[in-house]
Amino acid sequence: MNTLNLPPYPIKTVQKGEKQFVFDELRKKYVALTPEEWVRQHFVHYLITHKKYPPGLIANEMSLTLNGTSKRCDTVVYDKQARPRVIIEYKAPHIAITEKVFAQISRYNLVLRVDYLIVSNGMQHYCCRMDYANRSCTFLPNIPDYDQI
């Protein structure tokens, strides 16, 4: 897998037949190792280790219903009152972060109405803070620490 623009860590992988799997610390199980999953695991580790996000308040593959259709957010971060605060969408390193990606995460936010949206392909990371009163968002220079959200 590619070296990412995220801190490295001792990621746990296993080979089962032809497929490789990675251990997801949040879900406590091995999941198929895809380029997107590689980004997710590194990004979640970064949030926990470097940005002090509590692991118990982060959920991977969070289901929601949008216009009668079942969808899954890649990662959702909650506050201590179990309210969703951040949605994170991951793409494989070779996938460009475009308006289409932001449109996807924005659709999920129609349901969750979080304060922050983050998109990462492991090489580039974008974070915006939602301003519902003014119907706008502001892109931030950095991913905020947990105590700032």
Provide the pLDDT for residue 134. 94
Provide the pLDDT for residue 66. 83
User: What does pLDDT average to in each consecutive run of 10 residues of the chain (149 residues)?
Assistant: 90 94 95 96 97 97 87 95 96 94 91 96 97 94 96
Provide the pLDDT for residue 115. 97
Determine the 3-state secondary structure of 140 from DSSP: strand
What are the two backbone dihedrals, phi and then psi, of residue 101, each rounded to the nearest 5 degrees?
-65, -40
Provide the pLDDT for residue 69. 86
DSSP 76-139: EEE-TTS-EEEEEEE--TTS---HHHHHHHHHHHHHH--SEEEEE-SS-EEEEEEETTTTEEEE
Provide the pLDDT for residue 129. 97
Provide the pLDDT for residue 1. 75
Tell me the pTM: 0.94
Provide the pLDDT for residue 25. 93
Provide the pLDDT for residue 142. 95
Structural domains present in the chain: 34-148 (3.90.1570.30)
Q: In the block, which residue shows the tokens 């091995």?
A: 30
39 Cβ partners below 8 Å, 6+ apart?
4, 6, 90, 91, 92, 93, 120, 121, 122
Q: Burial, 21: exposed, middle or buried (Cβ in 10 Å; 0-12, 13-18, 19+)?
A: middle
